[in-house]
Chains A and B, each alone.
Chain A
Amino acid sequence: MNDKVLMRGTHIIGETAVRSGCRFYAGYPITPQNELTEYMAGAIAKLKDGTFIQAESEIAAVNMVIGASMAGARAMTSSSSPGISLKQEGISFLAAQELPAVIVNSMRGGPGLGNIAPTQGDYFQATRGGGHGDYRCIVLAPAYSQELADITRRAFEYADRFTTPVMILIDGMMGQMMEPVVFPEPIDPRELPPKSWVLDGAKGRPSRIIKSLILDVVKEEEHNWKLYRKYENIKKEIQEAETYLTEDAKLVVIAYGTAARIAKGAIKRVRDIGLKVGLLRPLSLWPFPRRILDDTSRFVKEFLVYEMNTGQMVEDVELALKRSSEIHFYGRPGGIVSTPDEIAKVITSLYYRRHLEED
């Protein structure tokens, strides 16, 4: 079963979810991600122990996921930007109630209804919590088909391990693209380690409560610190980024997802004409891979952040590098997908300002 297959991005996520023991999916139609919902409908229909529900709303879908997660299932929902806004109430509850779940956001143009073109406008929403309250979501950003599979598998593992919601950020382009992929081995959910907190009826044990209301301010403070300690632990454990041609680089582009693919194409072009430029591609957006940025900034003092928005991740880069380096930003919002040539021009103009004579 481990042969390479050619599949579109959304289907890769769906197939990997099922192979990762996901037995509950609820979703609501919104472009661009409907193919994932449709794939889950078909894939779960083939299982004896799975449930697919086309919910009446994004809100209902995420709340069904809350219920399925309380019952111990690996559960997933997916949507695109405006729908993710609606799910934020539920995501805040998942975080507060410490329930695992996987949420896929195929980002589209915004704010408001925007359009269905690929963007990265939801970086703040995803990495800053999104819903109300002092919490974080683990946020993973794949850029290649194989990564869609690998990250989807990891997302379910992280969700269970840290009992917290995990978001996978993609866009319509990644959802549609077809590349070869090798799927991970299927997991039988019955063979996953038992969860000590599941609500399945208090048979032979005291009854359990899963809740987020904590009226006593001292206890609510302690709950927040408990979440904080968990997030600090996650920060230590999860720091994911790819570095590409950074060893000798004088300028490093920082980009994730589709933007990183474009940046890589641009870097190949400028390398051809001798510019020493590399790429740092965060895979975990929260936690932001600060350690990897730190390491890179020991050798590189100039960075270009490229995003498909007006500048969001650049704030995390600034925080991580504490202004020890020069940080430039280039972004196109609204669904404009730059070409590698366009980014190559931006890189070249920045590069020559400083490095022409040295080289």
Chain B
Amino acid sequence: MTAQLVFKRPRYLKKTVFHYCPGCGHSIIHRLVAEVIEELGIGEITIGVPPAGCAVLAYDYFDVDMGEAPHGRGPAVATGIKRMLPDRIVFSYQGDGDIAAIGTAETIHAANRGENITVIFVNNSCYGMTGGQMAPTTVVGQESTTTPGGRDIKRDGAPIDLSEMLALARGSVYIERTSVNSIKNIVKTKKALTKAFKIQMSGLGFSLVEILSPCPTNWKLSPLDSCKWIDETITQTFPLKVIKDETIKTEL
């Protein structure tokens, strides 16, 4: 009996050890994105735009061309790249603070212009790298270092439904919210990412996958409890669903 290789490093992940904390969703999401790039055969024409935040080092992991954007400006940088190289595949990888606070304007307008790019929006409901401050997506009642006693709507405002807002943008084609907190959801996330990239490959316009992602370190929960907490708490505010899909009429 010969051994069969059933699991290996995706071609477009470098042989570098992730710096992410144990149980962090970024590691899973990186792997999924790399798998999708490989399966779609676009590794040699893809340019990624990493954010500021925990995933700032994404360029050390993805083995495709990567160009760093200032905090929140990913969609603007991606716009510049894509417009000059329309036959390449361009994605930005952004956290919740990056995309839904400091970069809200860049995101909404890129979506509204219908930029033919793919945005990977990792929502872990806190500022991870800076130590767990309130993010625009921190849910009501959630403890963070800047919401003592939990997020209070009166004091801190309500969490922002960025994906729903982007669905209103006329140029957005496909927006889905998924999670990587279970095998089932990981499979769904990969499907969503595949679809998002295919939309770009077909030149249809702006696609975005919001991925609810565990941050055990700042949530002060074990990796397993973090996954549970996504199901029990975060999805109450941010339900997993296809938020917009204009491709129904096409073959995608």
Hey, which bits of chain A sit against chain B, CB under 8 A? Answer: 23-24, 26, 51, 53, 55-57, 59-61, 63-73, 75, 89-90, 93, 97, 199-204, 207-213
Contact = CB atoms under 8 A, between A and B. Distances in A.
Contact of B76 (A23, A51, A60, A97): A60
Contacts of B66: 199, 207-211
Interface string B77-103: 111111111001100000000000000
Contact of B83 (A53, A93, A201, A210): A53
Given A56-B109, A57-B105, A90-B70, A200 B85 contact: yes
A53 B68 CA distance: 21
28 contacts: A23-B84, A24-B80, A24-B84, A53-B113, A56-B105, A59-B76, A60-B106, A63-B70, A63-B77, A63-B80, A64-B83, A66-B67, A66-B70, A67-B76, A67-B79, A67-B81, A68-B83, A68-B84, A71-B47, A71-B85, A73-B84, A90-B70, A201-B88, A202-B43, A209-B67, A211-B66, A212-B68, A213-B57
What's the interface size class on B, roughly? 35 or more
Contacts of B81: 67-68, 70-71, 199
B105 A70 contact: no
A57 B105 CA distance: 8
Q: Top 9 closest A-B pairs, CB basis?
A: A67-B80, A63-B76, A71-B84, A68-B80, A56-B109, A211-B68, A63-B73, A64-B80, A67-B77
Contact of A66 (B43, B56, B69): B69
Given A24-B83, A73-B84, A64 B77 contact: yes
Given A66-B70, A201-B44, 8 more contacts: A56-B109, A60-B76, A66-B69, A67-B78, A97-B67, A201-B89, A207-B65, A209-B65
A26 B59 CA distance: 26
Given A60-B106, A90-B70, A66 B59 contact: no
A344 to B, nearest CB: 48
A202 B65 contact: yes
Most chain A CB atoms below 10 A, which of B46, B63, B84? B84
B180 interface: no
B88 A56 contact: no
Given A55-B76, A57-B105, A59-B73, A199 B67 contact: yes
Interface of B: 43-47, 49, 56-57, 59-60, 62-70, 73, 76-85, 88-89, 105-106, 108-109, 113
Nearest to A204: B44
Contacts of A59: 73, 76, 105-106
A281 to B, nearest CB: 35
Nearest to B49: A67
Contacts of B73: 59-60, 63, 66, 90
Given A60-B73, A209-B59, A199 B84 contact: no
B65 A201 contact: yes
Contacts of A69: 80
Contacts of B46: 201
Nearest to A209: B59
A61 B43 CA distance: 28
B106 A56 contact: yes
A201 B43 CA distance: 8
Contacts of A68: 80-81, 83-84
A52 B47 CA distance: 21
Nearest to A75: B80
B75 to A, nearest CB: 8
Given A24-B84, A66-B77, A70-B81, A210 B68 contact: yes
Contact of B44 (A70, A93, A203, A211): A203
A70 B83 CA distance: 12
A71 B80 contact: yes
A81 B172 CA distance: 34
B174 to A, nearest CB: 22
B234 to A, nearest CB: 29
B113 to A, nearest CB: 8
